């Protein structure tokens, strides 16, 4: 079974994505949302290995540091995969998606179904 690293899987969207993906993939991530800090490159490095099929980053969507988490966190992910010379599928969610989701422009089922159908 392919492995997916789900960062930020403790939020509303993350829980639903995890529930759907658990049927087809091994979902990796922290059991405690404070343990996997994407701003700390050393901590993040422990979660990313050569056997990852995909990295889904949902971190920082409700935090005041959204910009810092999105830019620095995603940069840390990219630095690590470049250093390890691996090419997992990368999926990043940004604040714009969160706003549209809250305004009901994006339905959770459609978002999850689109991703699963691609796999």
Q: Which residues are registered as beta bridge partners of 38?
A: none
**Sequence ranges of the domains in the chain:** 3-118
Helix (H) or strand (E) holding 7: strand 3-7
The pLDDT tens digits along the chain (119 residues) read: 999 999 988 888 888 899 999 989 999 988 776 788 888 999 999 999 999 999 998 876 555 666 677 778 888 999 999 999 999 998 887 655 445 445 554 444 444 444 444 44
| pLDDT on residue 103 | 52
pTM of the model: 0.73
Domain 3-118 has CATH 3.40.50.720: yes
Distance, in Å, from the CA atom of 76 to the CA atom of 81, rounded to the nearest integer, reads 9
Residue listed under structure tokens 């978002």: 111
The pLDDT assigned to 114 comes to 47
Contact 32, 50 (CB under 8 A): no
Q: Which residues contact 70 (CB under 8 A, 6 or more apart)?
A: 60, 92, 94, 95
């Amino acid at each position: 079974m392919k492995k997916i690293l789900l960062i930020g899987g403790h939020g509303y969207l993350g829980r639903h994505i995890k529930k759907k993906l658990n049927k087809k993939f091994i979902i990796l991530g922290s059991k405690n949302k404070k343990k996997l800090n994407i701003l700390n490159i050393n901590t993040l490095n422990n979660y990313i290995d050569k056997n990852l099929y995909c990295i889904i980053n949902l971190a920082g969507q409700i935090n005041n540091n959204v910009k810092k988490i999105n830019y620095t966190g995603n940069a840390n992910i990219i630095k690590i995969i470049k250093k390890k010379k691996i090419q997992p599928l990368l999926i990043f969610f940004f604040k714009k998606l969160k706003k549209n989701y809250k305004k009901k422009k994006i339905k959770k089922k459609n978002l999850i179904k689109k991703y699963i159908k691609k796999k």
